[in-house]
Structure formats: C-alpha cells, structure tokens
C-alpha cells in the first residue's frame, strides 16, 4: 500500500545521486573538509559513520542548503526538481508541535501550504496504520511514548514525499527495541528514495544500509566504503552483518 505511494513519488527516476566534488570548508581556523570528493548513490540508503566532530551533521546541512556555509568545490544533486521540493529532514528531536494532534502534526507540511485534502488525510491514515499508530490520530504528543512520537515524526517526513531524505541520528534517543522497530519501518517506507543516514551505531548502519561510508577524523575524508548486497532491513544474525561487523568495529575503534 505505502510502497505504491512511495513508488509514485520517490521512484528510482526521482531519487537523485548527490555528488561532492573537491569540497573544502574551514571551521574555526582548521579545515573540516579538504577537497572531499564522493558520490551518494541515488535510490539507495547510505549510512555515514565516523568519529565525533568529523563533520557528519555538517555534510547534511551543506546538502540541504539550510545553512549557507562558505565551502569551495561543488555539491551537485542530479534532479530536475527545485532544491526545496526534493529534500526532507529528520533528526533525533521529533519536533512535533505540542498543541496539535498526532494526525495534524503528520500532515503539518500540507496544512502550512494550504494543501490539505481528504485524500491527504486518507494517506496519513494509511501510514499511521502501517506504523502501528491507528487510534492515536487525536492524541497530543505529550501523551505518547518517545517511540510513538518518533514514528509520528517519520511519517511527517514521509508525507512530504521528497526523493532525498537526510536523517541525523533519528533513532538515537530510543531504547534498543523501539529503535529496531523504527529502523524496520523506516527502511520499508523509504525504499527507493536517496537516504543519507548519520548514525553512531554500526549495527544500525549494517541493518539499514545499502552502503556504509566510514569517515575519518578531521580533515574528514572517506576512510572506507562498504557495499552491502542483501535487502535491508537485515536481521542481526544476517551473514552479511556478521561478515562486516568486526571490520567495521575495528576501524571505528582505531579512530578513537
């Protein structure tokens, strides 16, 4: 059901690649990026791991253009759509408006643009059903658990139907079980979009990613790239996870 909607709006032809070409940026008096070149493949989930302060969140901000940082080089998004119409953002704070019901929060973007309609509400209802939130349409955020609020935030992001999703540690505030459930849901509902997920959790990256980029300490460069072949979300005992986990962990330990 949801896949149909997502195919229509975030199909492969709509999910662009993001190309960094010799991107340099100083933060303070030191380079954060020094001629960083890499390609984020369209239509795949790329997870980014790396030491604290190496510039993971800054990369997402540079792609979104939300903050104008004085970088050199280029970041190209291969899409016919205008930038505002192609990127959605999700972070670890759910940012639900406390005075609106969960449903009103989920359709907030359309409400603000005066695009609310019966079909839009129906679509939100379908997504809520899929996310196990049916029956909570009128609940205020304060009456919901952290996992439910974060599921609501995920649905609000998906309702925007953007081909690029930038996710900055979206599940880090959740307990292990809620996190795993939300990883499964997010993977299912964002299939075919270009997803860039910043995380500190190697298992999350191995469960959700088609590709994993390990970044180095400042100045940030791509230290290694893992290409995974199976279809996410992977179970924790998936052979592909077992094959990569120790290599990934030892690389991350070496960076500390």
Interface residue with ligand ATP, options 16, 42, 55, 141 (CB under 6 A):
55
Given 11, 53, 146, 230, the residue binding ligand ATP (CB under 6 A) = 53
Q: Does 4 bind ligand ATP (CB under 6 A)?
A: no
Interface residues for ligand ATP in 89-108 (CB under 6 A)? none
Site membership for ligand ATP, residue 56 (CB under 6 A): yes
Of 43, 77, 35, nearest in space to 60 by CA: 77
Query: How near is the Cβ of 99 to ligand ATP at its closest, in Å?
Result: 30
Does 124 bind ligand ATP (CB under 6 A)? Our answer is no
Closer residue to ligand ATP in complex, CB, 128/197: 197
Out of 57, 92, 216, 255, point to the residue binding ligand ATP (CB under 6 A). 57
Task: Kindly tell me which of 54 and 167 has the beta carbon lying closer to ligand ATP.
Answer: 54
Residue 54 within binding range of ligand ATP, rule CB under 6 A: yes
Residues binding ligand ATP (CB under 6 A): 27-28, 32, 50, 52-58
């Amino acid at each position: 059901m949801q896949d149909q909607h997502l195919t229509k709006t975030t199909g492969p032809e709509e999910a662009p690649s993001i190309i960094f070409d010799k991107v340099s940026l100083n933060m303070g008096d030191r380079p954060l990026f020094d001629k960083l070149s890499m390609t984020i493949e369209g239509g795949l989930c790329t997870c980014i791991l790396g030491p604290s302060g190496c510039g993971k969140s800054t990369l997402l901000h540079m792609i979104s253009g939300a903050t104008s940082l004085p970088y050199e080089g280029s970041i190209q998004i291969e899409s016919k759509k205008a930038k505002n119409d192609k990127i959605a953002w999700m972070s670890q704070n759910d940012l639900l408006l406390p005075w609106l019901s969960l449903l009103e929060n989920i359709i907030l973007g359309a409400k603000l643009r005066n695009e609310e309609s019966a079909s839009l509400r129906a679509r939100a209802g379908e997504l809520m059903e899929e996310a196990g939130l049916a029956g909570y349409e009128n609940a205020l955020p304060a009456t919901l658990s952290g996992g439910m609020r974060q599921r609501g935030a995920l649905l609000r992001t998906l309702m925007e139907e953007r081909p690029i999703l930038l996710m900055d540690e979206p599940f880090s505030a959740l307990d292990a079980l809620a996190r795993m459930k939300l990883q499964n849901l997010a993977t299912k509902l964002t299939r075919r979009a270009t997803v860039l997920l910043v995380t500190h959790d190697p298992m999350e990256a191995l469960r959700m990613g088609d590709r994993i980029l390990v970044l180095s300490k400042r100045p940030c460069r791509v230290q290694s790239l893992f290409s995974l072949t199976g279809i996410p979300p992977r179970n924790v005992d998936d052979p592909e996870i077992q094959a990569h986990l120790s290599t990934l962990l030892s690389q991350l330990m070496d960076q500390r």
